[in-house]
């Protein structure tokens, strides 16, 4: 006998080996009918599975949120059957559920194109309409390999081989078609429903390894109800509207062109935004005890040989040509650290100088693979808010904590609600003694725990020179961005010959901490454009307000208002064009100008303005002086505002 506990707390005994379906039927035929799977002790299982042990049992209806991953997984099987029905000889490989949908990787000489989608979707609907039950079989390893080999499914043979010896080989059938699969599945193909859509084709390496053959991946989305599918598609459209590449063009922030792939042409408005961010970081880190330096763009390649970068990253660095009159070759810097070590080494340093925290808005160049380039998010030339702290071993914990606090405080100012920290500890291949690693990891970990933030362990993912923290932001539409980093470096200072004199007159190699907060300013600007959907807070908005006239009678007054605003350092333009106010309101709203100061005859006579805020229909009338004071107040950066409040 097995004892099953039901969600209402009832507990009943059943013969051992009874199936979930039989249990459901025993309770009521209608329950059995609407149930697509069960959960035993919270783990999803086939409804046809035999129950061998006492368990908490729950019946999962198709509408249950937990059924969604089954719908998607079943849909993946249906898609694979459809593809093989349409193109015999296509090999199937793997088809997992992912966020918002699923994919399936196929191997076929002729790749698929989106034009094939309608046919595949049609065939899928046929298979779903047939409503064949999913049935599970356990095969022997040899039998599975023989069957797949006979069918020419060589990738499946590899998959069978990859299954650990202690696990059984499970095959799921849906009518004639079957697939190697871990399961579980719903009761039949009909349960997939029709809220699915094929989204895109993509190449993907077999087993994620670029040395392997490339497969064709078909991405699809699937939902329990058509309304959910529609909502998802709408959400994608919304995300597209806030794409920083699109907003960058629409808001006249920047552009790219063929002659400089991966390098940004910043327009005046975009550069204003960029500089607002740079100034902000400069204020924050100066307040935290950093000094700012600037190191050369080009340095002798020998230095990069010494640092080890040449060997590891040669293919990703820009190098100058060797010239007749100059035998040396120069490297366009891909990072700032070697330069900062040179600054540290210049002049003898004492333990009294430590910690020495050196920051630079260094522009670095990296020859990123062409396929990796992506707007501002992945470029070949970018500006890091980089810093290196030269410290003693004893100072590791304190300085890491200070960096951690600074980074988290900065993200708060931009309204990122969720920050997840990844802790990467010692990798297999590393330098330095275990004692030093122990100390470095413990110090980093104490900083991490002091932050009180959620974190995850990235086992063995640290740099070869030391452990690191990586800060991942989640933006307004739920996407993750890795930005900040704190790295303990036990290697480079020694390698480049840096030392300080300790209190016993001994030469000691300092520990170096690498720190970035935004990471790449280019990328962070892109993230912010999407995070705010172009609706920047006033302190960042490239154009804060437009003074718009209703008739030309107000032109002189508008010019006066503009000049007064500019004297206050506000970023304001005047729109004196011979256009209707409706037209101007529309145009500046679309351009996402935060504030419109509308002036007509009435305002000119009364020395007032009518304020209209972006996203609001309402108007607010006040005197020009009051309006400018308000604007100036709202334009103050959050850190400066805090200082003013504290004073």
List interacting residues with RNA (CB under 7 A): 111, 113, 200-205, 208-210, 214, 216-217, 245, 249, 256, 258, 261-262, 309, 312-313, 316-317, 334-335, 366-375, 378, 463, 487, 514, 550-553, 578-583, 585-586, 589-590, 596, 598, 600-603, 610, 612, 614-615, 617, 619
Shortest distance, position 96 Cβ to RNA, whole Å: 12
Catalytic residue among 156, 378, 468, 571: 468
Write down the least CB distance from residue 325 to RNA, Å: 28
The two tokens of residue 537 are 């807070």
Neighbours of 106 (CB within 10 A): 24
- Smallest CA-to-CA distance from 417 within 349, 488, 477, 342 is with 477
CA 627/CA 334 separation, integer angstroms: 47
Does residue 464 come out as left (phi exceeding 0), alpha (psi in the -120 to 50 range) or beta? alpha
Render 9-23 in DSSP notation, one character per residue: S-EEEE-TTEEHHHH
- Rounded to whole angstroms, the Cα distance separating 418 from 384 reads 23
Q: Is 366 a catalytic residue?
A: yes
**Which residues make Cβ contacts (< 8 Å) with residue 511, sequence separation at least 6?**
390, 391, 392, 393, 395, 396, 440, 488, 489, 490, 493
Cis amide prior to 115 (ω within 30 degrees): no
Active-site residue, from 123, 269, 349, 514: 514
* Tokens at 205, concatenated: 């390496």
Q: Which residue is catalytic, options 46, 105, 179, 386?
A: 386
Residue among 132 and 374 whose Cβ is closer to RNA: 374
Cβ closer to RNA: 153 or 530?
530
d(CA 599, CA 536): 24
Cα–Cα distances in Å, from 28 out to 23, 31, 40?
9, 5, 19
CB of 203 to RNA, least distance (A): 3
The SS3 assignment for 487 reads strand
Q: Is 388 considered catalytic here?
A: yes
Other CB atoms within a 10 A radius of the CB of residue 181 amount to 17
Strand-pairing partners, residue 188, are: 133
Q: Which is nearer to RNA, 355 or 534 (CB)?
A: 534
Instruction: Provide the 3-class DSSP secondary structure of residue 68.
Output: helix
Going by C-alpha positions, the residue among 557, 561, 552 that lies closest to residue 631 is: 561
Q: Which is nearer to RNA, 225 or 586 (CB)?
A: 586
Cβ atoms of residues 487 and 466 within 8 Å = yes
Is 337 tagged catalytic?
yes
Indicate if 384 belongs to the active site: yes
Cβ nearer to RNA, comparing 363 with 374: 374
Nearest alpha carbon to residue 461 among 435, 487, 480, 483: 487
Q: Tokens representing 29?
A: 């035929």
Nearest to RNA of 265, 279 (CB atom)? 265
Answer yes or no: 468 catalytic.
Answer: yes
Six-digit token pair at 339? 């330069």
Please report, in angstroms and rounded to a whole number, the separation of the first and last CA atoms in the chain: 75
Considering the candidates 145, 217, 309, 388, report the single residue annotated as catalytic. 388
State in angstroms the smallest separation of the CB of 336 from RNA: 10
Task: Give CA torsion, residues 625, 626, 629, 630, to 10 deg.
Answer: -150
Dist CA 353 CA 500 (whole Å): 9
With respect to RNA, which residue has the nearer C-beta, 245 or 284? 245
Task: Give Cα 129 to chain centroid, integer Å.
Answer: 39
Smallest separation (angstroms) from RNA to the CB of 182? 20
* Catalytic residue annotation: 337, 366, 384, 386, 388, 468, 514
């Amino acid at each position: 006998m097995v004892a099953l506990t039901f969600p209402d707390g009832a507990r009943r005994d059943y013969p051992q080996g009874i199936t979930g379906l039989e249990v459901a039927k025993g309770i009521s035929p209608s329950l059995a009918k609407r149930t697509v799977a069960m959960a035993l002790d919270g783990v999803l299982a086939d409804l046809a599975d035999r129950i061998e042990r006492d368990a908490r049992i729950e019946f999962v209806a198709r509408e249950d949120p937990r059924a969604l991953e089954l719908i998607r997984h079943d849909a993946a099987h249906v898609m694979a059957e459809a593809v093989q029905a349409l193109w015999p000889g296509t090999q199937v490989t793997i088809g997992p559920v992912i966020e918002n949908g699923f994919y399936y990787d196929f191997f076929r000489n002729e790749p698929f194109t989106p034009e094939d989608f309608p046919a595949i979707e049609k065939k899928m609907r046929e298979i779903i309409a047939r409503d064949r039950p999913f049935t599970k079989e356990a095969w022997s390893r040899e039998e599975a390999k023989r069957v797949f080999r006979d069918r020419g499914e060589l990738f499946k043979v590899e998959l069978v081989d990859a299954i650990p010896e202690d696990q059984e080989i499970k095959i799921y059938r849906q009518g004639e078609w079957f697939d190697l699969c871990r399961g579980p599945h719903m009761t039949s193909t009909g349960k997939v429903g029709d809220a699915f859509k094929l989204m895109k084709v993509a190449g993907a390496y077999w087993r994620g390894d670029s040395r392997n053959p490339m497969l064709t991946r078909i991405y699809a989305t699937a939902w329990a109800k058509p309304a959910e599918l529609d909502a998802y598609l709408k959400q994608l459209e919304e995300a597209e509207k806030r794409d920083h590449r699109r907003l960058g063009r629409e808001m006249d922030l920047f552009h790219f062109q063929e002659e400089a792939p991966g390098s940004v042409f910043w327009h005046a408005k975009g550069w204003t935004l960029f500089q607002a961010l740079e100034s902000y970081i400069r204020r924050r880190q100066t307040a935290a005890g950093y000094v700012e330096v600037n190191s050369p763009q080009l340095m002798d390649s020998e230095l990069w040989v010494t640092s080890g970068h040449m060997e590891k990253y040669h293919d990703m660095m820009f190098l100058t040509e060797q010239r007749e009159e100059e035998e040396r070759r120069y490297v366009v810097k891909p990072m700032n650290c070697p330069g900062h070590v040179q600054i540290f080494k210049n002049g003898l340093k004492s333990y009294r100088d430590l910690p020495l925290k050196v920051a630079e808005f260094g522009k670095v160049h990296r020859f990123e693979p062409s396929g990796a380039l992506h707007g501002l998010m992945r470029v070949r030339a970018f500006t890091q808010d980089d810093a290196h702290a030269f410290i003693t071993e004893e100072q590791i914990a304190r300085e890491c904590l200070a960096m951690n606090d600074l980074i988290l405080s900065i993200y708060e100012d931009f309204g990122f609600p969720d920050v997840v920290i990844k802790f990467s500890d010692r990798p297999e291949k590393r330098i330095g003694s275990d004692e030093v690693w122990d100390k470095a990891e413990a110090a980093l970990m104490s900083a991490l725990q002091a932050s009180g933030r959620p974190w995850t362990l990235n086992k063995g993912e640290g740099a070869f020179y030391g452990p690191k923290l990586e800060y991942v932001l989640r933006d307004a539409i739920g996407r993750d961005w890795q930005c900040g980093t704190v790295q303990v470096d036990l290697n480079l200072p020694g390698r480049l010959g840096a030392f300080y004199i300790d209190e016993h007159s001994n030469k000691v190699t300092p520990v170096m901490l690498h720190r970035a907060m935004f990471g790449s300013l280019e990328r962070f600007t892109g993230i912010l454009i999407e995070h705010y959907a172009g609706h920047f807070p006033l302190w960042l908005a490239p154009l804060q307000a437009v003074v718009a006239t209703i008739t030309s009678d107000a032109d002189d007054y508008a010019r006066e208002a503009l000049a007064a605003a500019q004297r206050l350092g506000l970023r304001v333009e005047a729109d004196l064009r011979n256009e209707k106010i409706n037209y101007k309101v529309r145009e500046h709203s679309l351009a996402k100008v935060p504030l419109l100061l509308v002036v007509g005859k009435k305002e000119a006579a009364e020395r007032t303005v009518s304020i209209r805020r972006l996203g609001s229909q309402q108007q607010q009338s006040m005197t020009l002086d009051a309006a400018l004071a308000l604007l100036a107040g709202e334009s103050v950066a959050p850190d400066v505002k805090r200082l003013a409040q504290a004073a």
